[in-house]
Amino acid sequence: MQTIRNLGSFEGEFLLPGDKSITHRAVMLNSAAAGEAVITNALCGEDCVSTCACMRALGAKIDVDGSTMRVRGVERFRAGRELDCGNSGTTMRLLTGLVSGKGIDAVLTGDASLSKRPMERVARPLGLLGANVRATDGHAPVYVSPAELVGREILTDVASAQVKSAILLAGISASGITTVEEPTKSRDHTERMLSAMGAKVSVEGNRVSVEKSELSSLDVDVPADISSASYFMALGALKGKTLCKNVGVNPTRTGILRAFDKMGVRYSVLNKRSSGGEEMADILVEKSPLCGVELGGDDIPSMIDELPLIALMLAFADGESRIRDAKELKVKESDRIKTTAEMINRLGGECIPTDDGFIIRGKKQLLGGTVDSFMDHRIAMSAAVGLLASVKGGQILRPECCAISFPNFFQMLGVGTK
Ligand code: S3P
């Protein structure tokens, strides 16, 4: 259990851990590339540790020293391995795509939460490329056997970077051209990194094409994760002033800033620069009175992981808010429509779950209380923000799940671990 007392104010400068999505991709793709690469500011959270373990099982050599990873790729993956993806949907979905064209058998397994998440959404499109991928009643374990892949055009019915990436990573082993078109553009780290590693990639709006390609290793300096920074940005808006440094601001990830514009959050994006094909900047957020808003439509995929936190912030707003078009929240590490509403209500707010999002009746302040994490890192970290900004503070049950994406979250918040 983690006790969190309310705070008078919260101010500071923060250097957040590396981006989870980019770290996964840097490890996986370099493991499949010729040569050796160094990944700096890599995230060593549990999800990325799962990716490293899977890639080692496939034959890659990966040394980890703090936040620096040295990855030596292999020409041919080892066959017949069990690849334990732990809690990580990104590991399981991307890796299924990557191994499906590599001429090997593999079985991908996960923990209890991951084993409930939908895998047919990757098995089906990969099957259209000719892959031999079988999910178990639509879930893990996922079995992959050797197959010759043939590129074709695939329209996905969900804007999911994990599904898009699985198809593109299979596409680099398929003959011809593999094209994915998604209803709304999801995060685009895979296509950016594939292109930087020498794959033939073309992008036109929501359509991405890739040809059969050999990858060359690529050193990656990982920007800080905007999803991890968002908790500190929220505390700036609710309780004082925060500066988050070197944050990845790829436009497919900055939906939270567009939400901030509507909510009345005062922030500045400073020192914007480019590093290794990804944009980064420092984000300054200052205490702001928040107003109720409507969020939905095409912007949702670019703030999908931040929605529990945004909903929590809106519980502190003046007025009613509505979040729509976020059905995908139901198939994350927990059913985040249910668990976000429960977290906010336990803190004394008023959040009504709907079929595709929430209605939040802002109360300007929350009393605090005891909240379960539901073993979902994003719920635990959002609850921590809510408690710090509440009238009387409270407790988080099962807080250890933060280590999935942010191992020293509570230390960085300055509340220690109990
Ligand atoms: C991720 C994509 C998103 C996100 C997840 C990481 C990725 O999922 O929620 O935390 O690294 O590709 P979907 O693409 O399934 O929406």
| C-beta of residue 321 within 8 angstroms of C-beta of residue 264 | no
Please state the φ and ψ torsions of residue 404, each to the nearest 5 degrees: -55, -45
The CA 312 to ligand 1 mean position distance, Å, reads: 20
Burial class (CB in 10 A: 0-12, 13-18, 19+), 6: middle
| C-beta of residue 107 within 8 angstroms of C-beta of residue 142 | yes
Closest-lying ligand 1 atom to the alpha carbon of residue 190: 12
Tokens of 168: 């593109």
| pLDDT recorded at residue 416 | 61
Contacts of 124 (CB under 8 A, 6+ apart): none
Residue nearest to atom 9 of ligand 1 (CA): 305
Q: What is the 3-state secondary structure (H, E, C) of 53-100?
A: HHHHHCCCEEEEECCEEEEECCCCCCCCEEEECCCCHHHHHHHHHHHH
Closest-lying ligand 1 atom to the alpha carbon of residue 304: 9
Task: Output the pTM of the full model.
Answer: 0.97
| C-beta of residue 56 within 8 angstroms of C-beta of residue 83 | no
Distance CA 406, CA 403 (A): 5
| C-beta of residue 74 within 8 angstroms of C-beta of residue 35 | no
The CA 367 to ligand 1 mean position distance, Å, reads: 32
Residue nearest to atom 11 of ligand 1 (CA): 21
The CA 338 to ligand 1 mean position distance, Å, reads: 19
What are the structural domains, with CATH classification, of the chain?
2-17+223-413 (3.65.10.10), 20-221 (3.65.10.10)
| pLDDT recorded at residue 275 | 81
Catalytic residue among 19, 188, 225, 305: 305
- Which of 90, 188, 194, 300 has the most ligand 1 atoms within 8 A of CB, as the residue to mutate? 90
Ligand 1 neighbours (beta carbon < 6 A): 21, 24, 90, 160-162, 165, 186-187, 304-305, 328
Contacts of 242 (CB under 8 A, 6+ apart): 10, 11, 12, 13, 14, 232, 233, 235, 236, 284, 285
261 tagged catalytic: no
The CA 152 to ligand 1 mean position distance, Å, reads: 23
Q: What is the mean pLDDT of each run of 10 residues along the chain (418 residues)?
A: 93 97 98 96 97 98 97 96 97 98 98 96 98 98 98 97 98 98 97 97 97 97 98 97 98 98 98 92 98 97 98 98 98 97 98 98 97 98 98 97 96 77
| pLDDT recorded at residue 418 | 43
- Which of 21, 25, 191, 250 has the most ligand 1 atoms within 8 A of CB, as the residue to mutate? 21
- Residue that the structure tokens 């999908």 belong to: 304
Q: Is 363 helix (H, G, I), strand (E, B) or coil?
A: strand
The CA 164 to ligand 1 mean position distance, Å, reads: 10
